[in-house]
Amino acid sequence: MAATQTEVITTPEAQTLREAIAIDQHPTRPSPLANTLTFAWRALLKIKHVPEQLFDVTLTPIIFTLMFTYLFGGAIAGDTTTYLQYLLPGILVQTVLIITVYTGFTLNTDITKGVFDRFRSLPIWRPAPIVGALMGDTVRYTIASVITVGLGLAIGFRPAGGLVGVLLAVALLLVFAFAISWIFTILGLVMRTPNAVMGVSMLVLMPLTFASNIFVDPDTMPSALRTWAEINPVSHLATAVRALMAGTATFDQIGWVLLASVLLTAVFAPITMHLYRTRN
């Protein structure tokens, strides 16, 4: 038996096979950018295979825009067209920020399915799965922005800043959305179920979006609520987006949003990565 096994191993065919599969040099380790882009592509493939994920991206901006415009436009501004000029940039901000909640939801789903542990065992740049997912979600934010602005234009919104102002406003919004998404990745890592992530995330997001200047001028609010709305970062974001679309943006308005985005990322990204490395 031993002789037979030796003959099989040392046959010319076996020797040829060993030479064919022998690796003289190990492949170059992918760069952090390549790792990140791979996981971003994974996030897009998930949309391709489960297109129902786009329901919130496509339906939410349509429902919010039409509902708030035609329910409150006449009561607040006297007519819907006037109110739409104020409302649409705010609805754009609210829509995109609500969609950021799904970052933590999908991360927690990967954890519950065991995919999370597989990613941590791979010889890759450690933040790549999370940063890549955030980059992939940016595509979802962009789709929601296009739908919101397109619907607004169809029903009477006219940005004085033109196409450039709209593009700059959307770009600024995407930067802030990327930064605030780190909060929801933390919730995705610490919550036990995807439904818990969704519930807690909405509790965080509701005071930020509704208690702001998205729907009405804070001057009409009670003093305590007005004070919160004035310091609320979402209010500053909505103000900057409105100003860019109107062509009246100042450096201070844009700079404040960029500074807030940097601070959010600087504070919450390291916390996310610490939880990612140490989570059992």
Chunked mean pLDDT (size 10), the chain, 280 residues: 49 72 69 87 80 76 89 85 92 92 87 82 84 88 92 93 95 95 92 90 90 90 91 94 95 94 94 84
Q: What is the CA radius of gyration of the chain?
A: 25
- Cα(128)–Cα(264) distance, rounded to whole angstroms? 19
Written as six digits, the tokens of 275 are 């939880």
Q: Do the domain assignments include residue 196? A: yes
Q: How far is CA 273 from CA 17, 47, 270, in A?
A: 43, 25, 5
Please name the helix (run of DSSP H) or strand (run of DSSP E) that holds residue 39, with its range, or none.
Answer: helix 32-49
Predicted confidence at residue 276, as pLDDT, reads 86
Q: Do the domain assignments include residue 185? A: yes
Domain of residue 161: give its range. 32-278
Q: Do the domain assignments include residue 19? A: no
Whether 208 and 232 have beta carbons less than 8 Å apart is answered as: yes
Q: Do the domain assignments include residue 200? A: yes
- Cα(242)–Cα(223) distance, rounded to whole angstroms? 24
Whether 275 and 189 have beta carbons less than 8 Å apart is answered as: yes
Q: Do the domain assignments include residue 166? A: yes
Q: Do the domain assignments include residue 27? A: no
Q: Do the domain assignments include residue 149? A: yes
Q: Do the domain assignments include residue 45? A: yes
Predicted confidence at residue 24, as pLDDT, reads 65
- Cα(231)–Cα(228) distance, rounded to whole angstroms? 5
- Cα(25)–Cα(113) distance, rounded to whole angstroms? 35
Q: How many domains does the chain fold into?
A: 1
Predicted confidence at residue 78, as pLDDT, reads 83
Whether 53 and 136 have beta carbons less than 8 Å apart is answered as: no
Angle at alpha carbon of residue 55, lines to 238 and 73, rounded to 5°: 40
